[in-house]
Amino acid sequence: MSFLKTLVSLFITLWIAIIGVLYICVYGGLVIIVGSIIGKYKGKKWKKRFISREVSRFGRAAFILSGSRVTVKGKENVPEDGPMVIAANHQSAFDIPLIPGYVYPGISFIAKKELSKIPGISWFIKALDGVYIDRGNKLQTAGAMRKILKILKEDGTILLFPEGTRSESGELGEFKEGSLSIPFKLGVKVLPVALDGTGKLMKKNGYLITPSRINLSIAEPISPEGFESEERFRKEVYNIIKKNLESSRNRGDSNVTG
């Protein structure tokens, strides 16, 4: 990376960091307060709807402020409500705001336990009935799984990255065994999403943000009914995402720009 390009990336990174902290901790605090008031008088459903809408706006703002362009194909395939599991490939930490920003806002996030200690982010995870996972703690993980089941049984939506980790090369990695066992057992539809370009926006284990072109390809929801095993269902979702990822790269553009 040239010196000038590095300098621009450093400026953008600092810019987003400052705006992000102010947006999440200051404006976000107001959103949580207003959401709580809405929930008190109109119910939990309306509270989550209001906060989810603000999270979606933040997701879009993150890409606009980074100078990146996001194009979306298949937006018409997104169901209006849950229960639903969004399954996407994983290239960057920016995938997390990308999905609620451009695919579906009403997500209950599954997050690492470490995020529960970060002001602002932890407020939103809690407000949206998010679930913390403490990897290596089997007892806690079992409790988290029960919470996820409860979310889906109550017509909620969760986001999964079946690869289990971010791809350094940007290529689709194999899905972890049992990664789609929850939607398979509950008979919940899965929305396959292929995303590309976020790995260039911010590389794995990197901190600099570089303006990039992001492509999203959303397939039709797929139901586990008719599949004799989670493995076959998982492979089908994998093949759909892989096909759409390759098509997106060959096409080089999409229908809708966000």
Q: Give 10-residue mean pLDDT values along the chain (258 residues).
A: 78 88 89 95 93 94 92 95 94 93 93 84 90 76 87 93 87 93 94 95 85 96 95 97 91 50
Give CA–CA dist 220/75, Å, rounded.
9
Give CA–CA dist 43/45, Å, rounded.
6
CA distances from 86 to 12, 46, 73 (A): 30, 22, 15
Global pTM exceeds 0.75: yes
Phi then psi for residue 130, to 5 deg, are -70, 165
Burial of 33 from C-beta contacts in 10 A (0-12 / 13-18 / 19+)? exposed
CA distances from 65 to 14, 56, 61, 176, 245 (A): 11, 14, 6, 34, 25
pLDDT digits over 72-109, tens only? 999 999 998 889 999 999 999 899 999 999 999 999 99
At residue 38, the pLDDT reads: 96
Phi then psi for residue 67, to 5 deg, are 80, 15
At residue 119, the pLDDT reads: 82
